[in-house]
Amino acid sequence: VSDIKSDKPIVFGVKKNSNILKSLLTYLKSNVSERLDIPLLIIDDEADYASINIKYDEGNNEDVSAINGAIRGILDFFERSSYVGYTATHFANIFIDKFASNSDVGSDLFPKDFVMSLDTPNNYKGPEHYFSEDNTSLIFDKGIIKKIDDHQDSIPIKHNSDFLLHDIPETMKRAIRQFVISSALAEDIGFNNSSHSMLINASINTDVHMQISDKVSSELSKLKRSLEIWHLDYSNAIKDPEIQNLFNIFEEDYLSYNKDLKTKYSDSPKEKLLNQFYESAKSIRIITLNSKGKDHLDYSKRQRVIAIGGFNLSRGLTLEGLLVSYFLRNSRMLDTLLQMGR
């Protein structure tokens, strides 16, 4: 864009990173010598995170954190500007000092004009549905949520970045097979034009993510090999421990909990099911989503994905066709807990 004063609307999609935001402000200032007298609208997604001035201290409100200062600097450079923040957890925003101001970057981001609660979508089920007293026993009894209680010897909740992973928990191995089954069933009942995904969030450390990825890949490869060898021969396939285990999980975690599935699949030919599991497993790929990884999600085409990460999978990111979530994380941050709950 050579002329920021163009009559045509200009849209910037900007990552909320202080260096990128500062570069944008530098670019704006390089085109004009004074404040811009054109309207600006900033839409800030996840406005409760990073946008808050975490350096603010009552009595010394000249201290401004980098991202907060960059956003305020851009707003202050325009004669006419509006700021709209979106967040599912607005606790931090409403406690911003509405009088806070800085001589260089202007007023803070207190929502002084309005706070509006958006209606909950009809297909949304939040923490109240899954974890309220009325629903807790129902959800656990139906097998939708399973407690992880076998992780301490393999992945302790608290571990450092130099942690060496020798094996993944048995519950994670089971969850991988649940994903193979769930994806196959989703295809069979008509969800065959969308992506299917599984989430594994068991550490905040990127190096540990890579180790988990290697172990998950090894576990999935064992199952794929057995399915590839035996998918056309159920009578011998069921003698393979991997195939036995897969069908046991299908019976225990699906048919025993769901009457509709039991009706549909109890009399279904086992050869057909075996083939469906094979087709499901063979196309699954494993990606690592973190600051060091080079993997990315491509929703322009159908895919079966096991996504492994920490921070990226704790906040904001939505996985298309999410069928299985494996969380082995805690947090002292209420907003992060709510995000992971979502």
- The DSSP symbol for 329 reads -
Q: Is there a contact between 82 and 40 (Cβ–Cβ < 8 Å)?
A: yes
pTM: 0.74
Per-residue pLDDT band for 323 (boundaries 50, 70, 90) equals very high
Task: Dump pLDDT digits (tens) for 7-58.
Answer: 788 899 999 999 999 999 998 888 777 888 889 999 999 898 889 998 877 6
104 or 131, higher pLDDT: 104
pLDDT at 102 over 70: yes
Give the pLDDT confidence score for residue 73 in this predicted structure.
94
Q: DSSP characters for 216-279? A: HHHHHHHHHHHHHHHTT-HHHHTTSHHHHHHHHHHIIIIITT-HHHHHHHTTS-HHHHHHHHHH
Q: How far is CA 75 from CA 19, 42, 57, in A?
A: 16, 8, 22
The larger pLDDT score, comparing residue 241 to residue 193, is at 241
Distance CA(108)–CA(97), nearest Å, equals 8
Give the sign of the dihedral formed by CA 150, CA 154, CA 159, CA 165. negative
- E-strand ranges in the chain read 36-45, 78-86, 101-102, 106-107, 196-201, 284-289, 304-309, 322-327
20, 13 contact by CB (below 8 A): no
- Kindly report, residue by residue over 264-294, the tens digit of the pLDDT: 888 888 999 999 999 999 999 999 998 887 8
Residue 1: its pLDDT value, please? 44
Reported confidence tier of residue 130, pLDDT bands at 50, 70, 90: low
What is the 8-class DSSP label of residue 337? H
First to last CA, the chain: 39
What's the DSSP call for residue 37? E
- Whether pLDDT at 308 is above 90: yes
Residues facing residue 286 across a β-bridge: 306
